[in-house]
Structure 1
Amino acid sequence: MKLVATGLLVLLGIIFVIAFALQDRYPWLQYVRAAAEGGMVGALADWFAVTALFKHPLGLKIPHTAIIPRNKDQIGATLGDFVEDNFLSDEVVKTKLDSIGIAQRAGAWLSRPEGAERVATEGAAAIRGILRVLDDEAVRDVLESMFRRHVVDVPWGPPVGRMAERIFEEGHHHQLVDLLVDSLNDWVHQNPEVVARLVAERSPSWVPSFLDDLVGDRVQVELGRFLDAVQDDPNHQVRRSLDEYLRGLASDLQHDPGAMAKAERIKEQVLDDPRVKELMAQTWATIKGALANAVDDPDSELTANFKSAVQDFGTRLVAEPELAAKVNAYVGDAAGYLVRTYRKDIAGVITETVERWDAQETSEKIELQVGKDLQFIRINGTVVGSLAGLAIFSVAHAIFG
């Protein structure tokens, strides 16, 4: 386009020279000379204007030339402010998001198998990356710290007592008592020789063996009857006594300092320092191994369930307008928050980027983007100048002859 514009200027120059030389012989060439003269003036003026935007014309440092290189930083700041004021606002972002219907579009994509597969693939890659960069020792320390804060350091007595009190008041323990009584009764009926042997071992040596057998059989029968009675009678004295004992234990764990101290000693014995460290190490190793195996196997149960959940969520976004509206509202609020909080930082990227550019490089970048239109300005100036020159000469010739 530069060659076209410059070539048109050269052509008008040639025409001007020929017309100027022959106008005395051919008077009508005066009009051609005037048009060519005006065209050259227009072309030179617009060449100067266009060139002055990007550099000093002919290398001459004329005032108010090389405008873009000289005002590069101001242009970047102005562009950043323009973007911040006209694009990075709550209203613009929310209006655009509302017009898109992002929840419905995302739901349509997620409901398709390929969409769920893509999410699962990217999620697996993210998990693998996280597992690679995580420091196992640091993770174990965090888990141990959380476990100590929420389990070890917390007194066990009151919370255990409150939980047990609710269980005992609602009678949930009765099923466990029934199971214990049933098991004990079955064992007694199935192992009569054990009872007889225990009686024989604890009787004096001078007691005849047949008497031991009689006593053992009697104990076996009475014990069986007793367990049968406990088993068949929901209000048996043993059951009531057990209920009273358990309720009292639950109350003591909440209010009796001795019971609470005993619970703390049991906790310390069960969860001493080495056991806690070993438990956390095993827990993290188990979690890490399970996650690694699941994400490495595209057909694992975890991956299949995740894909199914993603597709189900996508289907619900499409089929349930209320859910889609909630998601759109959440996305709009999040985008609005990001814009309000970071709009200056986002717009600042433009300003800082332009500031880092070299002035000459900036000028060339802009010229490459708009240069074609600028050369059309030169061409249009040439044409308009030619018409203006022709018109001015024609009017002057008509008036002054």
Structure 2
Amino acid sequence: MTSSDAERAAALRRMKTVATGLLAVMAVIFVVAFALQDSYPWLQYVRAAAEGGMVGALADWFAVTALFKHPMGLKIPHTAIIPRKKDQIGESLGQFVEENFLSEDVVRAKLDSARIAQKAGVWLEKPESADRVAVEGAALIRGLFTVLNDDAVQGVIESMVRKHLLDPPWGPPVGSIAERIFAEGHHHQLVDLLVERAADWVDANYSVVTRVVAQRSPTWVPRLVDGVVGDRVHAELSKFIRAVQEDPQHDVRISIDTYLRDLAQDLQHKPETIAKAEEIKGQLLDDPRVRDLTARTWSTIKNALLDAVNDPESELTTKFKAAVQDFGSRLTNDADLAAKVNRWIADAASYAVRTYRSEIAGVISETVGRWDAEETSRKIELQVGKDLQFIRINGTVVGSLAGLLIFTVAHAIFG
């Protein structure tokens, strides 16, 4: 028995004592009045009142007691109602809650008046609240990583990589993206960069160019001629690269554009090119590499998150707290956002009530059904028994007044 149950039990005992004591007082008054009424005729009225009070007290004692047990242990029909009807009471209570409380209209009206989003916003924008959310979130992440099996997670990541990255052919989607990039000219900046780097290399490597020319010339050619030819080749090469660099419509640039556009088309429609792309994909991402990639990906994510949540001053934690406060401030000040969040909450609650109302209400009937009959009667009596004792007291008082009134009227009529 909990402390609150103990308090209720004590209050119930006190009220039972008062009600029973009142019955005893009526009995004493009745005996005295009955014994002396011949000597003192006015005591007949007192006797009638006490007699009516006893009848009322006994009748209401029987009624109240019959709810929870058999009066005086006698198995009188229609007594011990709660122990006998426990399951029906549980079902009726569950049905009552389902029909009157687990209603979409009731739930939505209550949530609309509660203004949950605004209240949550006021709480979230406080620094101490953001700290609390960060602490609880960190504990949740640590708990998840403790529960999660690394091999299982890596298996899930690997299956997702295979399903969404490796199994689909690369050629058509890559070709489609490349076609759009080439059509919009986004690759020109890369071409410019490559040409610029080539020009810089030629300018900085005169000796390399002349040496290569000398190495490729016949042995019978004089060294002087090699030098002249090498110088000429370097000059022409530099001139050619400068021309490509300065002329957006140079033949080399046009040839590059044509080649890239044709390649994008072939990746989408030419079986040989698509097969070649699949071969390259297989060479780049074979099974060992995929497993190593998924293992390193999960390890990196896990370690980074754990390091961040374990450090209250980490950048992730700091930004998370700032984001929580910012979200709380927006909920408080942005009426449209708050209304949208409240609508989401109401929709979610309405869906839960609409879908699971029977299961939720069923918890009541199932819980009551598991209770012992006597235990159920005791629990209910502890909750309402104190108030029910007032019925006995009121019955005593009302019975006394009724007895007095009946006796008075009868005496007035019949003398």
Is 1:150 the equivalent of 2:161?
no
Q: Distance in 1 between matches of 2:164 and 2:56?
A: 84
**Pairing partner for 1:360 from 355, 374, 384:** 374
TM-score (norm 2): 0.93
Q: Distance in 2 between matches of 1:165 and 1:34?
A: 109
The equivalent of 2:266 in structure 1 is 252
Counterpart of 2:162, as a letter, is R
Q: Distance in 2 between matches of 1:203 and 1:186?
A: 25
Is 1:238 the equivalent of 2:255?
no
Counterpart of 1:385, as a letter, is G
**Once the 2 structures are TM-superposed, how far is the Cα of residue 309 of structure 1 from its aligned partner?**
2.1
**Once the 2 structures are TM-superposed, how far is the Cα of residue 395 of structure 1 from its aligned partner?**
2.4
Alignment of 1:98-177 (within 5 A): 98-177=112-191
The equivalent of 2:276 in structure 1 is 262
**Once the 2 structures are TM-superposed, how far is the Cα of residue 79 of structure 1 from its aligned partner?**
0.5
Q: Distance in 1 between matches of 2:409 and 2:177?
A: 108
**Pairing partner for 1:310 from 324, 347, 354:** 324
Counterpart of 1:384, as a letter, is V
TM-score (norm 1): 0.96
The equivalent of 2:404 in structure 1 is 390
Q: Distance in 2 between matches of 1:165 and 1:397?
A: 114
Q: Distance in 2 between matches of 1:168 and 1:284?
A: 35
Q: Distance in 2 between matches of 1:247 and 1:46?
A: 98
Counterpart of 1:336, as a letter, is S
Counterpart of 1:72, as a letter, is K
* DSSP 3-state at the match of 2:364: helix
* DSSP 3-state at the match of 1:27: coil
**Once the 2 structures are TM-superposed, how far is the Cα of residue 131 of structure 1 from its aligned partner?**
1.3
**Once the 2 structures are TM-superposed, how far is the Cα of residue 342 of structure 1 from its aligned partner?**
0.3
Query: 1:322-362 deviations in whole A, cap 9, x for unaligned?
Result: 22222222211111111011000000000001111111111
Q: Distance in 1 between matches of 2:181 and 2:292?
A: 32
Alignment of 1:315-330 (within 5 A): 315-330=329-344
User: Which blocks of at least 5 consecutive residues in structure 2 are unaligned?
Assistant: 1-14
Q: Which one is further off, 113-122 or 232-241?
A: 113-122
Q: Distance in 2 between matches of 1:80 and 1:361?
A: 19
* DSSP 3-state at the match of 1:207: coil
**Pairing partner for 1:5 from 16, 19, 38:** 19
**Pairing partner for 1:188 from 202, 205, 215:** 202
Counterpart of 1:132, as a letter, is T
Counterpart of 2:316, as a letter, is L
Counterpart of 1:104, as a letter, is Q
Instruction: Give % identity.
Output: 71
Counterpart of 1:226, as a letter, is F
Q: Distance in 1 between matches of 2:403 and 2:261?
A: 113
Runs ≥4 in structure 1, deviation > 4 angstroms? none
**Pairing partner for 1:179 from 174, 178, 193:** 193
The equivalent of 2:11 in structure 1 is none
**Once the 2 structures are TM-superposed, how far is the Cα of residue 3 of structure 1 from its aligned partner?**
0.6
The equivalent of 1:84 in structure 2 is 98
Alignment of 1:332-343 (within 5 A): 332-343=346-357
Is 1:24 the equivalent of 2:17?
no
**Once the 2 structures are TM-superposed, how far is the Cα of residue 87 of structure 1 from its aligned partner?**
0.6
Counterpart of 1:124, as a letter, is A
User: Which blocks of at least 5 consecutive residues in structure 1 are unaligned?
Assistant: none
**Once the 2 structures are TM-superposed, how far is the Cα of residue 211 of structure 1 from its aligned partner?**
2.6
**Once the 2 structures are TM-superposed, how far is the Cα of residue 28 of structure 1 from its aligned partner?**
2.3
Q: Distance in 2 between matches of 1:54 and 1:308?
A: 58
Counterpart of 1:308, as a letter, is A
**Once the 2 structures are TM-superposed, how far is the Cα of residue 313 of structure 1 from its aligned partner?**
2.2
Q: Distance in 2 between matches of 1:36 and 1:161?
A: 104
Q: Distance in 1 between matches of 2:166 and 2:413?
A: 110
**Once the 2 structures are TM-superposed, how far is the Cα of residue 53 of structure 1 from its aligned partner?**
0.8
Q: Distance in 2 between matches of 1:63 and 1:77?
A: 23
Q: Distance in 2 between matches of 1:62 and 1:255?
A: 92
